[in-house]
Amino acid sequence: MSGHAANPLHHPEVSIANGKTYLANFVISVALMTVALLVVLSGMAPFDVFLVTTAIGGLTVIIQSYLILHTDTSRGQFWHTFSLLLFVPLFIVTIGLTAWMFHGLYQRTMIMPARSGASPMSLHTRAGTR
Amino acid sequence: MLVHLQGSWSPALGRLCMKQLAFLHVPILEYTFAVVALLGLAAVGAVTYFGKWKYLWREWLTTVDHKRIGIMYIIIGLVMLLRGFADAVMIRLQQDMAIGPHSPGYMGAVHGYLTPFHIGQIFSAHGMIMIVFAATPLLVGLMNIIVPIQIGARDMAYPYLNALGLWLTGGGAALVMLSLFIGNFAHGGWYGFLPYFELPYSPGVGVDYWMWAFQLSAIGTSLGSINLIATIVKMRAPGMTWMRLPIFTWASLSTNLIALTSFPVLMVALALVGMDRYLGTHFYTAGMGGNLMLYNDLFWIWGHPEVYFLILPAFGIMSEIIPTFSEKTLFGYATMVIASFAIGGVSWGVWLHHFFTMAAAPSVNSFYSITTMLVGIPTGVKIFNWIFTMYRGRVRFELPMMWALLALSLLIVGGMTGMMNAFASNDYMWHNGIFVVAHFHMMVLVIASSIFGAVEYWFPKLFGFKLEQKWGKWFFWFMVLGTGFVFVPMFILGLAGMTRRLDYIPYTAWGPYLHLEMVGIGLYGAALLFFLAHLYVSLRDRESRRVGADAWGTGRSVEWMTHSPVPSYNFALIPHINARDEWAWRKDNGLTELHPGDYEPIHMPKNTGVPLVLGAFFFTLAFGLTWRIWWLTALSTAAIVIMIIVRSFDTDTDMTIPPNEVERTEKRRSDRASDFIATGVPPYAGGPVGTATAYQRLPEPAGGTGASSGGRL
């Protein structure tokens, strides 16, 4: 409770913000999104598109959390960064187990005629044959 | 508009029109609406007649006091529990009537009295209300009240956020209640069937009501979890090391970590349903690159952690009640803590057991079978710890203890049947069957029993008097009977192959069991009446059951050190914690009657009406979205954003209670307590030993606090 009466602009997580990193973040985010768009339009194999866009998305999240939330190892921010990192295992568990399940699931349930429009992951088995 | 809407739409009212005012056309709803309207008018009239509007606004609606917020959470939870029970009665009645081809039909139904569309709404509402708007607010309310007192704090870390969480939950609950009278509710199960919930197949507003109410509650609960985690990590009293933390607080920490990490998944899952229904995207459609199985996956990534979010506080409550009424310290404290976190951890790796039959590879199903069975290990540890706590203790069968023991018994039944469900091979036989329904009702009854136990147990702490025992015991035993009569036949029917959500029972051989379940519902109904009598008699005769700080005489943790009822600032001076069961330790060492010589000003947050108004705007936002009234949606969003910005520049959010006022309050409470303390608290053995710190001033001045009398002994 104590300290809340102070001007909110003086809160450590507010005072750390600055326009330069916001602008840098904006430019980098737009650039990465453009790359993602170009990848989608490039006619790459669907599963490769899925992998590349996912990687770009992950990269964007990391860059944004660094430039906007300032998740660095400085004294004031260390615990914020650390507690964020503690959630990484959860991402691995949920996304990993989901991917594992869907890998087998598509082969069992999504039997589709060749060349029909389908979600990228369902083309997993076909991507190699192109 | 990006999607094709069936039916009319106008810019002013969206999809809303006279035809949608269901309470004007549906006979059951006409009566329900009349009763609700009369009750509402009576409540408004009573408040006006007694001139309590100002009191209500100042002391309750704008409060940021964690105890009052908790009480309001519990009131919302109890009201919604009643609504969920009414839904259960209607489901049971339909299944009791619509048996066999010759069963008669009433009110437009071919069999029974409810059409498939109506019973679909009722079971969806029953499930969602009981999980999201009854169990969750009841437990969040209890954690809100007890955790800060148990750790020796004066309030939550973010009192304003706390109130906002409450009013968001309230807004969600109001939206669900409104769907009863205006429009309709989702009719495909509380967890939503995709692609059935896509706009072309569910063109009404029911799914939208379901989705937005769910979202409001998810935001509210997430805010609450952030608050409780920050409170437990940052606001413990001096001396309260991690291994001195009361076990309920440990359970709350584990459960809120689950909430914080899982609720965002739900928000995303539902937001994608919203994009499909509002923007015409194809996340969950069967074609166009969509994937309906993804919804199941995302929903249950939240859904399973959510059920442990509900059960862990219940375990925490049992771990508080059982030692108090066994007059012994909790057996295996460290293993209890580890078990709580093990359950929390495992909750993240079992979600696929909700859809074993979705055709995942056998290796995947085996993996999830095994992880599901692993849950039994920490849960078993807890059960044995509770039993060993009672072993050679002086067990007193007062009402809280009876509820805790009922929860323990039901946990064994629910746990064993859960093990049966954990086998994917079994699930292939009874997936979506009544056996599973009976199993998880055992588990939610563990939660319900713990909640009733907690209400009995902590009621005197909040209100200064105990609930009476006679009607409470009638209530308890009729709940036991009702549970037996409803759920034993349900287990049997489950093994006989009955499936969930039937509006018509094709086999007359199932009739006797369904009639027995109806008897059980009657017993539950009687239990409800006994509960009301319990409350009424307790309130009427409250003067004869006043209690002091240690209401049960054998309390062990920090909350029993402060007055009953707890003053707004919880502790006149922040206690210093010396032991795991601090209050029991102080009683053993004769340190119960310590009074600090002088008081200091107490810094507290100021009341604010902003959370209530924000909650109201979130409600209108959700209502506008449900009915696609775009001007209302835009207006509400703008109001929310502006209010949040304005509020963040408000620096006048705190106040200070002067020392003389603290002293006055303390003296009043002590004098009042001394009138009945002789009967309420047994004498203690032992005297002062060694060096003990009773109170610690914050921030602690150099050289300790020995200067004031009663500081350091």
Flag whether the pTM goes above 0.95.
no
Residues B31-40 have a mean pLDDT of: 90
Find the range with the poorest average confidence among B105-109, B174-178, B468-472, B513-517: B105-109
CA distance B132 to chain A (A): 23
Q: Would A14 be classed as within a structural domain?
A: no
Residues B6-19 have a mean pLDDT of: 89
pLDDT recorded at residue B706: 34
Confidence bin at B707 (pLDDT 50/70/90): very low
Place of tokens 């260390």: A78
Q: Which two tokens stand for residue B364?
A: 């995947």
Q: Taking 90 as the threshold, does the pLDDT of residue B704 lie above it?
A: no
Q: Would A116 be classed as within a structural domain?
A: yes
Q: Taking 70 as the threshold, does the pLDDT of residue B699 lie above it?
A: no
CA distance A130 to chain B (A): 19
Confidence bin at B236 (pLDDT 50/70/90): very high
Q: Taking 60 as the threshold, does the pLDDT of residue B685 lie above it?
A: no
Is residue B430 a contact partner of residue B436, using CB atoms and an 8 Å limit? yes
Q: Taking 90 as the threshold, does the pLDDT of residue B675 lie above it?
A: no
The DSSP bridge partners found for residue B602 are: B657
pLDDT recorded at residue A8: 66
Confidence bin at B473 (pLDDT 50/70/90): very high
Q: What is the ipTM of this complex?
A: 0.84
- The number of folded domains in chain A is 1
Residues B230-243 have a mean pLDDT of: 94
Pairing of strands B602-605, B654-657: antiparallel
**What span, in angstroms and rounded, lies between the C-alpha atoms of A42 and B585?**
72
| Runs of H (alpha helix) within B200-246 | 206-234
Full domain range(s) for residue A107: 88-130
Does residue A12 belong to the interface with chain B, where contact is any CB pair within 8 Å? no
Find the range with the poorest average confidence among A7-11, B148-152, B322-326, B348-352: A7-11
Residues B437-444 have a mean pLDDT of: 96
What Cα–Cα distance (Å) separates residue B293 from each residue in A64, B299, B312, B351? Answer: 30, 10, 29, 13
CA distance A104 to chain B (A): 5
A120 to B289: CB separation less than 8 angstroms, yes or no: yes
B301 to A105: CB separation less than 8 angstroms, yes or no: no
pLDDT recorded at residue B692: 52
A101 to B265: CB separation less than 8 angstroms, yes or no: no
pLDDT recorded at residue B290: 84
Q: Taking 80 as the threshold, does the pLDDT of residue B260 lie above it?
A: yes
Confidence bin at A18 (pLDDT 50/70/90): confident
Instruction: Give the pLDDT confidence of B542-567 residue by residue, as tens digits.
Output: 888 888 888 898 999 999 998 888 99
Domains of chain B plus CATH, in order, are 313-546 (1.20.210.10), 562-608+655-713 (no CATH)
Does residue A105 belong to the interface with chain B, where contact is any CB pair within 8 Å? yes
Q: Taking 60 as the threshold, does the pLDDT of residue A118 lie above it?
A: no
A117 neighbourhood in chain B, CB within 8 Å: 287-289
Q: Would A100 be classed as within a structural domain?
A: yes
**What span, in angstroms and rounded, lies between the C-alpha atoms of B128 and B303?**
12
Confidence bin at A80 (pLDDT 50/70/90): confident
Q: A76 or A28: whose pLDDT is higher?
A: A28
CA distance B287 to chain A (A): 7
B414: CB partners within 8 A, 6+ apart:
B439, B440, B442, B443, B445, B446
pLDDT recorded at residue A127: 42
CA trace torsion B90, B92, B93, B98 (10° rounding): 120
Q: Taking 90 as the threshold, does the pLDDT of residue B326 lie above it?
A: yes
Interface of B with A (CB under 8 A): 154-155, 159, 261, 265, 287-291, 293, 297, 301, 348-349, 352, 358-361, 363-364, 367, 603-605, 648-649, 651, 653-654
Residues A78-103 have a mean pLDDT of: 89
| Of B251, B378, B376, nearest in space to B317 by CA | B251
**Nearest 5°: CA angle at B401, between B521 and B588?**
165
**What span, in angstroms and rounded, lies between the C-alpha atoms of B89 and B110?**
19
Q: Taking 50 as the threshold, does the pLDDT of residue B478 lie above it?
A: yes
How many cross-chain Cβ pairs, A to B, lie less than 8 Å apart? 65
Q: Taking 50 as the threshold, does the pLDDT of residue A3 lie above it?
A: no
Find the range with the poorest average confidence among A96-110, B123-137, B146-160, B515-529: A96-110
Residues B207-235 have a mean pLDDT of: 95
pLDDT recorded at residue B696: 55
Does residue A128 belong to the interface with chain B, where contact is any CB pair within 8 Å? no
A95 neighbourhood in chain B, CB within 8 Å: none
Longest CA–CA span in chain A (Å) reads: 65
pLDDT recorded at residue B164: 96
Confidence bin at A111 (pLDDT 50/70/90): low
Rg value, chain A, Cα: 21
| Runs of H (alpha helix) within B359-469 | 362-374, 376-390, 399-422, 424-430, 434-463
| Of B448, B357, B446, B435, nearest in space to B408 by CA | B446
Give me the percent of chain B exceeding a pLDDT of 90: 77
Instruction: Give the pLDDT confidence of B100-146 residue by residue, as tens digits.
Output: 999 999 988 999 999 999 999 999 999 999 999 999 999 999 999 99
Q: Would A34 be classed as within a structural domain?
A: no
| Of B10, B175, B191, nearest in space to B83 by CA | B175
Q: Would A93 be classed as within a structural domain?
A: yes
Q: B289 or B182: whose pLDDT is higher?
A: B182
Q: Would A21 be classed as within a structural domain?
A: no
Does residue A40 belong to the interface with chain B, where contact is any CB pair within 8 Å? no
A117 to B358: CB separation less than 8 angstroms, yes or no: no
Q: Which two tokens stand for residue B486?
A: 């409803």
Q: Residue B296: closest CA among chain A residues belongs to which residue?
A: A98
pLDDT recorded at residue B534: 96
The values of phi and psi at residue A74, to 5°, are -65, 165
CA distance A20 to chain B (A): 23
Does residue A8 belong to the interface with chain B, where contact is any CB pair within 8 Å? yes
Instruction: Give the pLDDT confidence of B263-282 residue by residue, as tens digits.
Output: 999 999 999 999 999 999 99
DSSP string, B591-644: -TT---SS---EEEEPP-SHHHHHHHHHHHHHHHHHHT-HHHHHHHHHHHHHHH
Instruction: Give the pLDDT confidence of B278-307 residue by residue, as tens digits.
Output: 999 999 988 787 888 899 999 999 999 999
By the 10 Å C-beta count (0-12 exposed, 13-18 middle, 19+ buried), A30 is classed as exposed
Is residue B299 a contact partner of residue B262, using CB atoms and an 8 Å limit? no
**What span, in angstroms and rounded, lies between the C-alpha atoms of B629 and B639?**
16
Q: Would A99 be classed as within a structural domain?
A: yes
Residues B630-641 have a mean pLDDT of: 97
Long-range contact set of residues B289-293: C-beta below 8 Å, sequence gap at least 24: B289/A117, B289/A118, B289/A119, B289/A120, B290/A119, B290/B195, B291/A119, B291/A121, B292/B194, B292/B195, B293/A102, B293/A105, B293/A109, B293/B358
Instruction: Give the pLDDT confidence of B192-216 residue by residue, as tens digits.
Output: 988 899 999 999 999 999 999 999 9
Q: Taking 80 as the threshold, does the pLDDT of residue B646 lie above it?
A: yes
Nearest CB to B155 within list A1, A8, A98: A1
Q: Taking 90 as the threshold, does the pLDDT of residue B597 lie above it?
A: no
Confidence bin at A129 (pLDDT 50/70/90): very low
A90 to B359: CB separation less than 8 angstroms, yes or no: no
